Amino acid sequence: MTTFVISLVRTIVPIIVGAVFTWLASYGIEVPEDGQMGLTAFLFAFFTGIYYLIVRLLEERYPQVGILLGFAKSPDSYSKGPGVEVTSKPAGNEVNITVTNPTAEPTVITGTTLPNLNEAVPTDRVPGPDHRAE
């Protein structure tokens, strides 16, 4: 199933739950007709938002709770995604980099050569005043 469909389902399910909670909450409540639409809109937004917030917060700690949004697995666009971490800085312009991905084992890339930025600085420039100290 595509991430688009998963994200769509995980959006529609809280809307349906919010509508059901709104209907249950408004059942038996007598409100003047001119305020009924506003109250219904408020309750719908409130219940939908609270439901989604609670489930997403629980899902951060207990991923299987995501089934309450329609799918237990959140789309990749929700995940923190892969990260890059510099693990050590050897002499010269080589570094060891660890690429972390929540779904796979960390991959260590050693000996990655970075460009020597000192070679790109022109040497015929006249140094000016250092304004950083001001």
Output the pLDDT for position 130: 66
Q: How many Å apart are CA 41 and CA 36, to the nearest integer?
A: 9
Side chain identity at residue 42, one-letter code: F
Q: Where are the chain's structural domains?
A: 3-78, 83-120
Q: How many Å apart are CA 21 and CA 46, to the nearest integer?
A: 10
Q: What is the pLDDT along the chain (134 residues), one digit of tens a residue?
A: 677 888 888 889 999 999 999 888 887 778 788 888 888 899 899 999 999 999 989 988 888 888 998 888 776 555 555 555 555 555 555 566 665 555 566 565 565 555 555 555 556 666 666 666 55
Residue range 64-94, pLDDT digits in tens: 888 998 888 776 555 555 555 555 555 555 5
What are 104's strand-pairing partners?
A: 101
What are 1's strand-pairing partners?
A: none
Mean predicted lDDT score pLDDT of the chain: 74
H/E run at residue 107:
strand 104-113
Residue with the two structure tokens 């991905």: 101
